[in-house]
C-alpha cells in the first residue's frame, strides 16, 4: 500500500456540522480561506511525497520494462531534488523566521518539516534498496553492468587509470582545509568528496581534511570499451574512479577515507516586486546566487565516518535530520541517460508514432484546415507538428501581419522561437510575452527575450506579481472574402507548454480555432499583458486571477443546485493538483447534495474522498504511467449542455489568484465528445495505471482482482496510443 502520512481523524464536532448541512463562509477579504476545520484537508508536502511513492512503484513494478524502471527511479530522485530545493526550503525559511502561520490542514511549519523528514528518509531508503537489490542484479543479468572498483580486472583498472590521468585529474582542484584554505563554496547538487588525511605536505603542513569538487562537465557515468567487459554494456561511476585514485591528488600523504557528498540548496529566487525597476536585470542578477542558497539537505555515502558527517553538517548549518546516508551514488539523477545509451529496445517501452487529425491531412495549409473548423490536438498521441507548422507557415506567409504568443517553457533550442525570430525579420508585428519567473527556465527565457528584441520583436514580461502561465498563440492574417479584405485571427490554446520535446512525453490538449469570439477574448488578454486598462468581460474564456476560480465554483454550485432539485448532476475533472480550499468546500457540498464527482488528480490532492456524510460521492484517482499526465479538463453536466473546459491551470491558490491562466471551452460538439471520451472516461475506466485514494490520503493500486478475472484490462495511455495512431 502506498501511503502519505499518518491518519488524522475528523473532529467529531466538525463532522456533525457537515452532517447537519451547516456551511462556514470564508471572510470576503481573505480569498481562498478555509470555511471548514483543517481536518478536512490533507497536507500538501506529504501529498508530494506520496506522489513520488507512486512513481517509485513504477520502478518496482516487474511489468515495467527494465530500463524504464531505472528511468522511473531517476525521476523520483529528480522530483525529490526539487522538493527539497523549493518545498523543504520554504519550510525551513518559515521555521527560521519563527512563523506562527499554519498550513491549510492546521499544521505549523515545524510540524510539517518533522513529518516530511521521516517520510523522505524512508522513501530514500526504499529507493536505494530497490536500486541495489533489484535493478542492478536484473541489469547485470541482461549484460548491463555497473562495475564497482572492488571488482575491476587488471585490464579494466589500467584503462580507468588512463582515463583518470587523461580526462579527470587535469580538471580537479583539491582544497586542503587549513587557516589559509577555508571550506570552499559548494555548488547546489554538485558532486564533492570529503577526504580524511594524515601526514605532512611539501610545506610541512598537516591537515586532516580536504575537499575535492568534481567539475560538472565530467560525466557521472563512463562506459568502458566493449572488449574490456564480459558484458555488452559496462559502466563505471565517476565516484568510483575518484575513490580509487584520490591518493594521486595528495602525494606523500595517507588517505584514511574518501566520502562522496552532495548538498541541496534553496533554489527559489527572491525578487522584491515592489522594489524592482527592471525585472529582467533583477532576475539575471539573482540567477548566479541560486547555486549558493541556504543548504537544506546533505547527502553522504553510507560509509562516511560520523566525524566527517558532523563536520559537513556544521559547515552547511544543518542538523542531524537533514543528513541522508545513501548506499550508492549520491545523485541517481545522472543515471537518467543510461537507458538512452543502451541499445536494447526489448528493455524499453515500445515506441509509437503520433497521429495527425484527419482535418489537417486534407489541406496543405494549417490556415485552410482551421478555417474549415476547429481542430483538437491530443498530445503526445497526436503530433505537436501542426503547432510547429502553423507558426512556421505564419513566419513566411505574406498575408500574416501579426503574431502574438506567450512563452513559459520552450527549451533552449526551440524551433518555435526560431520561427518567431524569422517572422520578425520578415517584417511581421511579433509580440511575445515571456515569463521570466518560470522556475528553472529563467535563463533560457532571458536568452530568447534578448534574441527576439535584437530582431525587432516586442517583448514584454507580463504583469509583475503574476506569472503568465496561460498558453496562447494568436496569428492575425489579412484575407479576401466576398465582402472584401478582412483581418482574421487564428488561435492556438493549450494545456501544456510550447515545448516540442515535452510534447512527446506530456499528455496535453491543444485547440486550433478561428472562432471570432474566442479570437476577440485572446486579443483582450494580450492587451492586458502588454498594455494597461481594466479587465473586460470575455465571451468564452475564464481567466485567472479574475473569473477562473469563481466560474469553477459557480459550475460546482450549479450541479449542487440541480442535485438538490432531484435533477441529474455530474462533475468530472482532471488536473495535476487540487489544493484550493474554497473549491474543495464547494465539492464537499456537491457531494452532500448527491452530485457524483470523479476527480483524476495526478499529484497532490488535499481533498478527502469517501468520508461518510462529507464526501461519499467523490472519488479521487491518480494515473501514473510512461507519459506524464498533464492536461486539465473540467466537465459540468449543466442540465445536459455538458460544459467542457480545457485549461492551463490546476485547482490551486497560486493558479487561481497569483497567475494569469486561461480555461477555454470546447464548443464543437464532436470535439467535445472526444475530450470527454479521451480526457476523462478512458481514465475513469483504467485498471492498470490507476491508483485510488482513500480518506486518509493513502493510495491503493486499482487492479483487476485476480489474474484469471473476467474484468478486461484497461490502460488509458496504451488505449489512446492505439486509438489515435496514424
Tens digit of each residue's pLDDT (9 = 90 or more) over 578-608: 999 999 999 999 999 999 999 999 999 999 9
User: Cis bond leading into 511, ω under 30°?
Assistant: no
Say if CB 492 and CB 377 are below 8 A apart.
no
Out of 21-25, 35-39, 69-73, 675-679, which region has the weakest mean confidence (pLDDT)? 21-25
Residue 82 pLDDT grade (very low, low, confident, very high; cuts 50, 70, 90): very high
Residue 280 pLDDT grade (very low, low, confident, very high; cuts 50, 70, 90): low
Q: How many Å apart are CA 319 and CA 310, to the nearest integer? A: 9
Q: How many Å apart are CA 716 and CA 454, to the nearest integer? A: 45
Cell numbers of 491, please? 488561435
What pTM did the predictor assign?
0.90
In this predicted structure, what is the pLDDT of residue 102?
80
Say if CB 338 and CB 347 are below 8 A apart.
no
Task: Kindly state the average pLDDT of the residues 428-454.
Answer: 81
* pLDDT above 70: residue 424: yes
Cell numbers of 319, please? 542538523
Say if CB 285 and CB 308 are below 8 A apart.
no
Residue 15 pLDDT grade (very low, low, confident, very high; cuts 50, 70, 90): very low
Q: How many Å apart are CA 545 and CA 470, to the nearest integer? A: 11
Q: How many Å apart are CA 7 and CA 575, to the nearest integer? A: 25
Tell me what percent of the residues of the chain surpass a pLDDT of 90: 75
Tell me what percent of the residues of the chain surpass a pLDDT of 70: 89
Q: Say how many C-beta atoms besides its own lie within 10 A of residue 488's C-beta.
A: 17
Q: Range(s) for CATH 3.30.1840.10 in the chain?
A: 123-347
Cell numbers of 120, please? 523522505
* Alpha helices by DSSP H, 594-681: 653-657, 669-676
In this predicted structure, what is the pLDDT of residue 29?
36
Q: In the beta sheet, which residues pair with residue 195? A: 210, 258
Say if CB 116 and CB 46 are below 8 A apart.
yes
- The H or E element containing residue 168 is none
Say if CB 599 and CB 584 are below 8 A apart.
no
Say if CB 605 and CB 598 are below 8 A apart.
no
Out of 108-112, 488-492, 590-594, 689-693, which region has the weakest mean confidence (pLDDT)? 108-112
**For 702, phi and psi rounded to 5 degrees?**
-90, 95
Residue 291 pLDDT grade (very low, low, confident, very high; cuts 50, 70, 90): low
Helix axes 548-564, 581-593, angle to 10 degrees: 10
Burial category of 462 from C-beta neighbours within 10 Å (exposed 0-12, middle 13-18, buried 19 and up): buried
Q: How many Å apart are CA 607 and CA 575, to the nearest integer? A: 13
Out of 96-105, 659-668, 681-690, which region has the weakest mean confidence (pLDDT)? 96-105
* pLDDT above 80: residue 51: yes
Task: Kindly state the average pLDDT of the residues 413-426.
Answer: 94
CATH topology of domain 358-537: Endonuclease; Chain A (3.30.870)
In this predicted structure, what is the pLDDT of residue 198?
86
**For 366, phi and psi rounded to 5 degrees?**
-65, -35
Q: What is the CATH number of domain 543-723?
A: 3.30.870.10
Residue 204 pLDDT grade (very low, low, confident, very high; cuts 50, 70, 90): low
In this predicted structure, what is the pLDDT of residue 26?
34
**Average per-residue pLDDT in the chain?**
89
Q: What is the CATH number of domain 123-347?
A: 3.30.1840.10
In this predicted structure, what is the pLDDT of residue 253?
86
Cell numbers of 429, please? 508585428
Residue 180 pLDDT grade (very low, low, confident, very high; cuts 50, 70, 90): low
Give Cβ neighbours of residue 477 (< 8 Å, ≥ 6 apart). 367, 394, 397, 399, 400, 401, 487, 488, 489, 490
Residue 457 pLDDT grade (very low, low, confident, very high; cuts 50, 70, 90): very high
Q: Range(s) for CATH 3.30.870.10 in the chain?
A: 358-537, 543-723
Q: How many Å apart are CA 55 and CA 83, to the nearest integer? A: 14
In this predicted structure, what is the pLDDT of residue 448?
84
Residue 439 pLDDT grade (very low, low, confident, very high; cuts 50, 70, 90): low
Q: How many Å apart are CA 268 and CA 450, to the nearest integer? A: 23
Q: In the beta sheet, which residues pair with residue 376? A: 511
Residue 288 pLDDT grade (very low, low, confident, very high; cuts 50, 70, 90): low
In this predicted structure, what is the pLDDT of residue 468?
92
Out of 5-19, 172-186, 366-380, 501-515, which region has the weakest mean confidence (pLDDT)? 5-19
In this predicted structure, what is the pLDDT of residue 21?
30
> Which tens digits make up the pLDDT trace of 532-544?
878 889 999 999 9
Task: Kindly state the average pLDDT of the residues 368-391.
Answer: 97
In this predicted structure, what is the pLDDT of residue 201?
66
Residue 464 pLDDT grade (very low, low, confident, very high; cuts 50, 70, 90): confident
In this predicted structure, what is the pLDDT of residue 100?
79
Residues with a catalytic annotation lie at: 469
* pLDDT above 80: residue 286: no
The highest-confidence range among 443-447, 640-644, 710-714, by mean pLDDT, is 640-644
Residue 267 pLDDT grade (very low, low, confident, very high; cuts 50, 70, 90): confident
Q: How many Å apart are CA 723 and CA 377, to the nearest integer? A: 13
In this predicted structure, what is the pLDDT of residue 434?
87
Amino acid at each position: 500500500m502506498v501511503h502519505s502520512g499518518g491518519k488524522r481523524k475528523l473532529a467529531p464536532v466538525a463532522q456533525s456540522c457537515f452532517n447537519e448541512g451547516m456551511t462556514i463562509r470564508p471572510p470576503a477579504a481573505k480569498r481562498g480561506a478555509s470555511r471548514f476545520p483543517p481536518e478536512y484537508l490533507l497536507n500538501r508536502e506529504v501529498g508530494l511525497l506520496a506522489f513520488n511513492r507512486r512513481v517509485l512503484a513504477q520502478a518496482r513494478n516487474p511489468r515495467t520494462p527494465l530500463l524504464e524502471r531505472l528511468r522511473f527511479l531517476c525521476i523520483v530522485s529528480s522530483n525529490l531534488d526539487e522538493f527539497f530545493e523549493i518545498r523543504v526550503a520554504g519550510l525551513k525559511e518559515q521555521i527560521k523566521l519563527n512563523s506562527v502561520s499554519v498550513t491549510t490542514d492546521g499544521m505549523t511549519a515545524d510540524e510539517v518539516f518533522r513529518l516530511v523528514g521521516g517520510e523522505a528518509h524512508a522513501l530514500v531508503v526504499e529507493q536505494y534498496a530497490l536500486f541495489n537489490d533489484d535493478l542492478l542484479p536484473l541489469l547485470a543479468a541482461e549484460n548491463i553492468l555497473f562495475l564497482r572498483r572492488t571488482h575491476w580486472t587488471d585490464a579494466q583498472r589500467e584503462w580507468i587509470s588512463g582515463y583518470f590521468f587523461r580526462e579527470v585529474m587535469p580538471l580537479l582542484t583539491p582544497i586542503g582545509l587549513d587557516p589559509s584554505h577555508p571550506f570552499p563554496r559548494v555548488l547546489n547538487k554538485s558532486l564533492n568528496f570529503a577526504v580524511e588525511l594524515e601526514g605532512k605536505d611539501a610545506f610541512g603542513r598537516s591537515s586532516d581534511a580536504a575537499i575535492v569538487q568534481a567539475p560538472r562537465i565530467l560525466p557521472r557515468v563512463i562506459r568502458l570499451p566493449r572488449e574490456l567487459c564480459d558484458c555488452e554494456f559496462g559502466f563505471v561511476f565517476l565516484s568510483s574512479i575518484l575513490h580509487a585514485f584520490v591518493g594521486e591528488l595528495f602525494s606523500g600523504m595517507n588517505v584514511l577515507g574518501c566520502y562522496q557528498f552532495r548538498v541541496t540548496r534553496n533554489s527559489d529566487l527572491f525578487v522584491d516586486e515592489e522594489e524592482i525597476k527592471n525585472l529582467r536585470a533583477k532576475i539575471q542578477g539573482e540567477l548566479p546566487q541560486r547555486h549558493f542558497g541556504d543548504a537544506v539537505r546533505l547527502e553522504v555515502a553510507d560509509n562516511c565516518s560520523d566525524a566527517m558527517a558532523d563536520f559537513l553538517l556544521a559547515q552547511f548549518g544543518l542538523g542531524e535530520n537533514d543528513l541522508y546516508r545513501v548506499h550508492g551514488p549520491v545523485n541517481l539523477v545522472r543515471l537518467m541517460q543510461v537507458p538512452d545509451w543502451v541499445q536494447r529496445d526489448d528493455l524499453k517501452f515500445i515506441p509509437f508514432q503520433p497521429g495527425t487529425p484527419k482535418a489537417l491531412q486534407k489541406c496543405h495549409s494549417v490556415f485552410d484546415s482551421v478555417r474549415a473548423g476547429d481542430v483538437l490536438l491530443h498530445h503526445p498521441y497526436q503530433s505537436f507538428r501542426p503547432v510547429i507548422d502553423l507558426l512556421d507557415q505564419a513566419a513566411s506567409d505574406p498575408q500574416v501581419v501579426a503574431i502574438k504568443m506567450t512563452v513559459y517553457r520552450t527549451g533552449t533550442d526551440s524551433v518555435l522561437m526560431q520561427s518567431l525570430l524569422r517572422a520578425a525579420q520578415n517584417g511581421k508585428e511579433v509580440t511575445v510575452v515571456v515569463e521570466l519567473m518560470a522556475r528553472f527556465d529563467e535563463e533560457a527565457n532571458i536568452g530568447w527575450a534578448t534574441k527576439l528584441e535584437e530582431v525587432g520583436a516586442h517583448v514584454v514580461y507580463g504583469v509583475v506579481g503574476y506569472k503568465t502561465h496561460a498558453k496562447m498563440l494568436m496569428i492575425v492574417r489579412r484575407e479576401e472574402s466576398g465582402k472584401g479584405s478582412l483581418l482574421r485571427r487564428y488561435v492556438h490554446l493549450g494545456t501544456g507548454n510550447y515545448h516540442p520535446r515535452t510534447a512527446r512525453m506530456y499528455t496535453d490538449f491543444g485547440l486550433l480555432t478561428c472562432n471570432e469570439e474566442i479570437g476577440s477574448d485572446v486579443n483582450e488578454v494580450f492587451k492586458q499583458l502588454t498594455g494597461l486598462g481594466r479587465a473586460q468581460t470575455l465571451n468564452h474564456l475564464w481567466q485567472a486571477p479574475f473569473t477562473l476560480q469563481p466560474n469553477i465554483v459557480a459550475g460546482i454550485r450549479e450541479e449542487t443546485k440541480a442535485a438538490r432539485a432531484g435533477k441529474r448532476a455530474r462533475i468530472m475533472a482532471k488536473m495535476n493538483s487540487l489544493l484550493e480550499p474554497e473549491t474543495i468546500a464547494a465539492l464537499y457540498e456537491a457531494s452532500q447534495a448527491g452530485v457524483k464527482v470523479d476527480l483524476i488528480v495526478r499529484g497532490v490532492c488535499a481533498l478527502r474522498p469517501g468520508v461518510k456524510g462529507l464526501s461519499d460521492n467523490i472519488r479521487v484517482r491518480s494515473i501514473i504511467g510512461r507519459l506524464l499526465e498533464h492536461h486539465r479538463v473540467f466537465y459540468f453536466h449543466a442540465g445536459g449542455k455538458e460544459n467542457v473546459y480545457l485549461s492551463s491551470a490546476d485547482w490551486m491558490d497560486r493558479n487561481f489568484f497569483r497567475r494569469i491562466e486561461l480555461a477555454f471551452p470546447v464548443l464543437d460538439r464532436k470535439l467535445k465528445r472526444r475530450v470527454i471520451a479521451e480526457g476523462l472516461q478512458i481514465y475513469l475506466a483504467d485498471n492498470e495505471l490507476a491508483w485510488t485514494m482513500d480518506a486518509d490520503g493513502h493510495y491503493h493500486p486499482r487492479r483487476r482482482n485476480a489474474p484469471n478475472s473476467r474484468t478486461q484490462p484497461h490502460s488509458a495511455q496504451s488505449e489512446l496510443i492505439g486509438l489515435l495512431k496514424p
